[in-house]
Amino acid sequence: MRVLLAGATGAIGRPLLARLVAEGHDVVGTTRDLARATAIEREGATAAVLDAFDAAAVRDTVLAARPEVVIHQLTALPAAPDPKAMGAAVQQTSRLRRKTVPVFLDAAREAGARRAIVQSIAFVTRPDGRPVHDEDAPLEDDMAAGAVGAMEAAVRAADGLEGVVLRYGFFYGPGTWYARDGAVAELIRRRRYPLIGSAQGRSSWVHVDDAVDATVRALDHGAPGVYNVCDDAPATQAEWLPEAARLLGARPPRHVPAWLARRLAGPVVVHYATTLPGSANGRARAAFSWSPRPWREGFAEVLR
Protein backbone atom coordinates (compact mmCIF):
# COMPACT_ATOMS: atom_id res chain seq x y z
CA MET A 1 0.00 0.00 0.00
CA ARG A 2 1.24 3.50 -0.80
CA VAL A 3 1.24 5.60 2.39
CA LEU A 4 2.20 9.20 3.03
CA LEU A 5 3.22 9.75 6.67
CA ALA A 6 3.32 13.39 7.71
CA GLY A 7 5.49 13.70 10.80
CA ALA A 8 7.69 10.66 10.29
CA THR A 9 10.32 11.59 12.88
CA GLY A 10 8.24 12.23 16.02
CA ALA A 11 7.64 10.03 19.05
CA ILE A 12 5.11 7.91 17.19
CA GLY A 13 6.25 8.77 13.67
CA ARG A 14 9.58 6.96 14.01
CA PRO A 15 8.25 3.57 15.16
CA LEU A 16 5.24 3.90 12.85
CA LEU A 17 7.51 4.48 9.86
CA ALA A 18 9.59 1.42 10.77
CA ARG A 19 6.48 -0.75 11.16
CA LEU A 20 4.96 0.38 7.87
CA VAL A 21 8.16 -0.35 5.97
CA ALA A 22 8.60 -3.70 7.72
CA GLU A 23 5.12 -4.72 6.59
CA GLY A 24 5.97 -3.96 2.98
CA HIS A 25 4.20 -0.63 2.49
CA ASP A 26 5.61 1.96 0.09
CA VAL A 27 6.03 4.97 2.40
CA VAL A 28 6.82 8.63 1.87
CA GLY A 29 7.71 10.25 5.18
CA THR A 30 7.77 13.99 5.71
CA THR A 31 10.03 16.03 7.94
CA ARG A 32 10.84 19.73 8.19
CA ASP A 33 14.48 18.94 9.03
CA LEU A 34 16.89 18.06 6.22
CA ALA A 35 19.14 16.19 8.66
CA ARG A 36 16.27 13.92 9.71
CA ALA A 37 15.52 13.02 6.11
CA THR A 38 18.54 10.73 6.21
CA ALA A 39 16.98 8.73 9.06
CA ILE A 40 13.80 8.29 7.01
CA GLU A 41 15.78 7.04 4.03
CA ARG A 42 17.71 4.62 6.25
CA GLU A 43 14.41 3.00 7.24
CA GLY A 44 13.72 2.22 3.60
CA ALA A 45 11.19 5.00 2.99
CA THR A 46 11.27 8.05 0.73
CA ALA A 47 11.89 11.33 2.54
CA ALA A 48 10.11 14.58 1.70
CA VAL A 49 11.41 17.74 3.38
CA LEU A 50 8.74 20.39 3.67
CA ASP A 51 7.18 23.09 5.81
CA ALA A 52 3.73 21.78 6.68
CA PHE A 53 2.38 25.35 6.65
CA ASP A 54 3.40 25.73 2.99
CA ALA A 55 0.18 24.61 1.33
CA ALA A 56 1.68 24.48 -2.16
CA ALA A 57 4.56 22.29 -0.99
CA VAL A 58 2.17 19.96 0.83
CA ARG A 59 -0.02 19.63 -2.25
CA ASP A 60 2.95 18.92 -4.51
CA THR A 61 4.33 16.30 -2.11
CA VAL A 62 1.03 14.48 -1.70
CA LEU A 63 0.28 14.50 -5.42
CA ALA A 64 3.75 13.17 -6.20
CA ALA A 65 3.38 10.38 -3.64
CA ARG A 66 -0.05 9.27 -4.98
CA PRO A 67 -0.89 7.67 -1.60
CA GLU A 68 -3.76 5.35 -0.94
CA VAL A 69 -3.69 6.48 2.70
CA VAL A 70 -2.45 9.73 4.24
CA ILE A 71 -1.47 9.66 7.93
CA HIS A 72 -1.11 12.99 9.77
CA GLN A 73 1.07 12.80 12.89
CA LEU A 74 2.32 16.38 13.11
CA THR A 75 2.79 17.94 16.55
CA ALA A 76 5.25 20.37 18.11
CA LEU A 77 5.74 19.10 21.66
CA PRO A 78 8.99 19.95 23.47
CA ALA A 79 11.58 17.43 24.63
CA ALA A 80 10.51 17.89 28.27
CA PRO A 81 7.24 18.95 29.95
CA ASP A 82 8.50 22.31 31.14
CA PRO A 83 5.48 24.53 31.88
CA LYS A 84 7.09 27.53 30.18
CA ALA A 85 7.81 25.59 26.98
CA MET A 86 4.44 23.85 26.98
CA GLY A 87 2.46 27.03 26.35
CA ALA A 88 4.27 27.74 23.09
CA ALA A 89 4.17 24.06 22.13
CA VAL A 90 0.41 23.80 22.64
CA GLN A 91 -0.08 26.95 20.60
CA GLN A 92 2.03 25.61 17.72
CA THR A 93 0.42 22.16 17.85
CA SER A 94 -3.02 23.76 17.81
CA ARG A 95 -1.98 25.75 14.76
CA LEU A 96 -0.77 22.56 13.06
CA ARG A 97 -4.14 20.93 13.73
CA ARG A 98 -6.22 23.84 12.50
CA LYS A 99 -4.13 24.91 9.52
CA THR A 100 -2.39 21.86 8.08
CA VAL A 101 -4.94 19.05 8.42
CA PRO A 102 -7.42 20.61 5.93
CA VAL A 103 -4.58 21.13 3.46
CA PHE A 104 -3.47 17.50 3.70
CA LEU A 105 -7.09 16.36 3.35
CA ASP A 106 -7.63 18.41 0.21
CA ALA A 107 -4.37 17.16 -1.29
CA ALA A 108 -5.18 13.57 -0.37
CA ARG A 109 -8.55 13.82 -2.11
CA GLU A 110 -6.98 15.36 -5.21
CA ALA A 111 -4.34 12.62 -5.28
CA GLY A 112 -7.02 9.93 -5.21
CA ALA A 113 -6.34 8.68 -1.70
CA ARG A 114 -8.90 6.38 -0.14
CA ARG A 115 -8.41 7.15 3.57
CA ALA A 116 -6.93 9.77 5.88
CA ILE A 117 -5.84 8.89 9.43
CA VAL A 118 -5.26 11.86 11.73
CA GLN A 119 -3.70 12.03 15.17
CA SER A 120 -5.79 13.53 17.95
CA ILE A 121 -5.74 13.30 21.75
CA ALA A 122 -8.09 11.61 24.20
CA PHE A 123 -7.48 13.89 27.18
CA VAL A 124 -9.57 16.89 26.10
CA THR A 125 -13.09 15.95 27.24
CA ARG A 126 -14.87 18.15 29.77
CA PRO A 127 -15.15 16.83 33.36
CA ASP A 128 -18.77 16.08 34.24
CA GLY A 129 -18.49 13.76 37.25
CA ARG A 130 -18.19 10.55 35.23
CA PRO A 131 -14.86 8.79 35.72
CA VAL A 132 -14.58 7.58 32.09
CA HIS A 133 -15.74 9.15 28.83
CA ASP A 134 -16.31 7.71 25.38
CA GLU A 135 -15.76 9.53 22.09
CA ASP A 136 -19.14 11.29 22.28
CA ALA A 137 -18.35 13.28 25.43
CA PRO A 138 -18.20 17.08 24.96
CA LEU A 139 -14.76 18.63 24.66
CA GLU A 140 -13.24 21.29 26.87
CA ASP A 141 -13.46 24.92 25.73
CA ASP A 142 -9.76 25.83 25.91
CA MET A 143 -7.37 26.48 23.02
CA ALA A 144 -6.10 22.91 22.70
CA ALA A 145 -9.55 21.33 22.74
CA GLY A 146 -10.87 23.97 20.35
CA ALA A 147 -8.17 23.07 17.84
CA VAL A 148 -8.89 19.38 18.33
CA GLY A 149 -12.60 19.95 17.72
CA ALA A 150 -11.97 21.97 14.56
CA MET A 151 -9.52 19.39 13.24
CA GLU A 152 -11.80 16.44 13.95
CA ALA A 153 -14.72 18.22 12.31
CA ALA A 154 -12.63 18.74 9.17
CA VAL A 155 -11.73 15.04 9.07
CA ARG A 156 -15.32 13.90 9.58
CA ALA A 157 -16.54 16.26 6.86
CA ALA A 158 -13.91 15.32 4.26
CA ASP A 159 -15.86 14.43 1.11
CA GLY A 160 -14.48 11.55 -0.91
CA LEU A 161 -12.22 10.33 1.90
CA GLU A 162 -12.63 7.84 4.72
CA GLY A 163 -11.70 10.10 7.62
CA VAL A 164 -10.39 8.31 10.72
CA VAL A 165 -9.42 10.20 13.87
CA LEU A 166 -7.26 8.39 16.42
CA ARG A 167 -7.41 10.00 19.86
CA TYR A 168 -4.29 8.68 21.49
CA GLY A 169 -3.94 8.52 25.25
CA PHE A 170 -0.73 9.54 27.00
CA PHE A 171 2.21 7.91 25.23
CA TYR A 172 4.76 5.94 27.21
CA GLY A 173 7.63 3.81 26.01
CA PRO A 174 10.82 4.38 24.00
CA GLY A 175 11.28 7.91 22.72
CA THR A 176 8.57 9.42 24.94
CA TRP A 177 8.61 11.46 28.16
CA TYR A 178 7.51 8.34 30.02
CA ALA A 179 10.48 6.06 29.38
CA ARG A 180 13.28 5.01 31.70
CA ASP A 181 15.50 7.66 30.10
CA GLY A 182 12.64 10.10 29.54
CA ALA A 183 12.12 13.56 30.93
CA VAL A 184 9.33 12.60 33.33
CA ALA A 185 11.27 9.64 34.70
CA GLU A 186 14.08 12.02 35.60
CA LEU A 187 11.65 14.33 37.37
CA ILE A 188 10.24 11.38 39.32
CA ARG A 189 13.74 10.27 40.37
CA ARG A 190 14.46 13.78 41.61
CA ARG A 191 11.07 13.91 43.41
CA ARG A 192 10.06 16.89 41.29
CA TYR A 193 6.86 15.27 39.99
CA PRO A 194 4.49 15.38 42.97
CA LEU A 195 1.05 14.06 43.70
CA ILE A 196 -1.31 17.02 43.45
CA GLY A 197 -4.41 17.65 45.54
CA SER A 198 -6.76 14.66 45.45
CA ALA A 199 -4.61 12.95 42.77
CA GLN A 200 -7.83 11.53 41.33
CA GLY A 201 -7.35 12.72 37.76
CA ARG A 202 -7.44 9.66 35.46
CA SER A 203 -4.78 9.21 32.81
CA SER A 204 -5.49 6.89 29.89
CA TRP A 205 -2.18 5.39 28.82
CA VAL A 206 -1.00 3.75 25.63
CA HIS A 207 2.38 2.19 24.94
CA VAL A 208 3.76 3.84 21.81
CA ASP A 209 4.10 0.43 20.14
CA ASP A 210 0.42 -0.30 20.83
CA ALA A 211 -0.48 3.09 19.34
CA VAL A 212 1.53 2.15 16.27
CA ASP A 213 -0.28 -1.18 16.08
CA ALA A 214 -3.70 0.51 16.19
CA THR A 215 -2.63 2.99 13.51
CA VAL A 216 -1.41 0.27 11.15
CA ARG A 217 -4.63 -1.67 11.68
CA ALA A 218 -6.58 1.50 10.85
CA LEU A 219 -5.13 1.47 7.33
CA ASP A 220 -7.85 -0.95 6.28
CA HIS A 221 -10.03 -1.57 9.35
CA GLY A 222 -12.73 0.47 11.02
CA ALA A 223 -15.42 2.74 9.66
CA PRO A 224 -14.76 6.48 9.35
CA GLY A 225 -15.07 8.14 12.75
CA VAL A 226 -13.31 8.92 16.01
CA TYR A 227 -11.58 6.29 18.16
CA ASN A 228 -9.92 6.46 21.58
CA VAL A 229 -6.59 4.63 21.37
CA CYS A 230 -5.62 3.84 24.95
CA ASP A 231 -5.54 0.89 27.32
CA ASP A 232 -8.49 -0.62 29.17
CA ALA A 233 -8.08 0.90 32.63
CA PRO A 234 -7.59 4.65 33.16
CA ALA A 235 -5.36 5.18 36.20
CA THR A 236 -5.59 7.92 38.79
CA GLN A 237 -2.47 9.88 39.55
CA ALA A 238 -2.60 8.30 43.01
CA GLU A 239 -2.18 4.91 41.28
CA TRP A 240 0.24 5.42 38.43
CA LEU A 241 2.71 7.93 39.88
CA PRO A 242 3.75 5.94 43.00
CA GLU A 243 3.98 2.82 40.83
CA ALA A 244 6.25 4.61 38.36
CA ALA A 245 8.45 5.78 41.22
CA ARG A 246 8.67 2.26 42.62
CA LEU A 247 9.68 0.80 39.27
CA LEU A 248 12.32 3.48 38.81
CA GLY A 249 13.75 2.78 42.26
CA ALA A 250 12.89 6.32 43.35
CA ARG A 251 11.55 7.54 46.66
CA PRO A 252 7.76 7.97 46.87
CA PRO A 253 6.51 11.21 45.31
CA ARG A 254 5.86 14.20 47.47
CA HIS A 255 2.37 15.65 47.82
CA VAL A 256 1.50 19.29 47.17
CA PRO A 257 -1.87 21.07 47.50
CA ALA A 258 -3.70 21.97 44.33
CA TRP A 259 -3.53 25.70 44.97
CA LEU A 260 0.26 25.63 45.14
CA ALA A 261 0.62 23.45 42.05
CA ARG A 262 -1.71 25.79 40.17
CA ARG A 263 0.50 28.73 41.08
CA LEU A 264 3.75 26.95 40.17
CA ALA A 265 2.76 24.83 37.16
CA GLY A 266 -0.57 26.17 35.94
CA PRO A 267 -4.19 25.01 35.83
CA VAL A 268 -3.73 22.33 33.14
CA VAL A 269 -1.28 20.39 35.30
CA VAL A 270 -3.71 20.54 38.22
CA HIS A 271 -6.60 19.44 36.00
CA TYR A 272 -4.69 16.39 34.77
CA ALA A 273 -3.84 15.45 38.34
CA THR A 274 -7.22 16.03 39.95
CA THR A 275 -10.20 16.18 37.55
CA LEU A 276 -9.19 14.63 34.22
CA PRO A 277 -11.68 11.95 33.06
CA GLY A 278 -10.40 8.67 31.69
CA SER A 279 -11.16 7.46 28.16
CA ALA A 280 -12.99 4.31 27.05
CA ASN A 281 -11.36 2.28 24.28
CA GLY A 282 -14.16 -0.12 23.33
CA ARG A 283 -14.69 1.29 19.85
CA ALA A 284 -11.05 0.96 18.86
CA ARG A 285 -10.77 -2.54 20.31
CA ALA A 286 -13.78 -3.71 18.31
CA ALA A 287 -13.09 -1.85 15.06
CA PHE A 288 -9.40 -2.72 14.79
CA SER A 289 -9.38 -6.12 16.57
CA TRP A 290 -6.82 -4.45 18.80
CA SER A 291 -5.66 -5.37 22.31
CA PRO A 292 -3.35 -2.89 24.09
CA ARG A 293 -1.24 -3.99 27.02
CA PRO A 294 -2.37 -2.85 30.51
CA TRP A 295 -0.46 0.15 31.79
CA ARG A 296 0.91 -1.73 34.83
CA GLU A 297 2.40 -4.38 32.58
CA GLY A 298 3.71 -1.77 30.15
CA PHE A 299 5.19 0.40 32.91
CA ALA A 300 7.02 -2.63 34.26
CA GLU A 301 8.53 -3.27 30.80
CA VAL A 302 9.52 0.33 30.25
CA LEU A 303 10.50 1.67 33.68
CA ARG A 304 11.85 -1.20 35.71
User: Per residue in 225-248, pLDDT tens?
Assistant: 999 999 999 999 999 999 999 999
Superfamily, domain 2-174+206-230+280-292: NAD(P)-binding Rossmann-like Domain (3.40.50.720)
Return the H-helix or E-strand segment holding 145: helix 143-156
Convert the pLDDT of each residue in 86-97 to its tens digit. Answer: 888 999 999 999
Alpha-carbon torsion (133, 280, 96, 99), positive or negative: negative
d(CA 290, CA 210): 9
d(CA 247, CA 117): 35
Using 70 as the pLDDT threshold, list the residues of the chain that sit under it: none
32, 179, 212 from 224: Cα distances, Å: 29, 32, 18
pLDDT of amino acid 60: 98
pLDDT of amino acid 197: 98
Q: Where are the domains of the chain?
A: 2-174+206-230+280-292
d(CA 264, CA 235): 24
Chain-centroid distance, C-alpha 12: 7
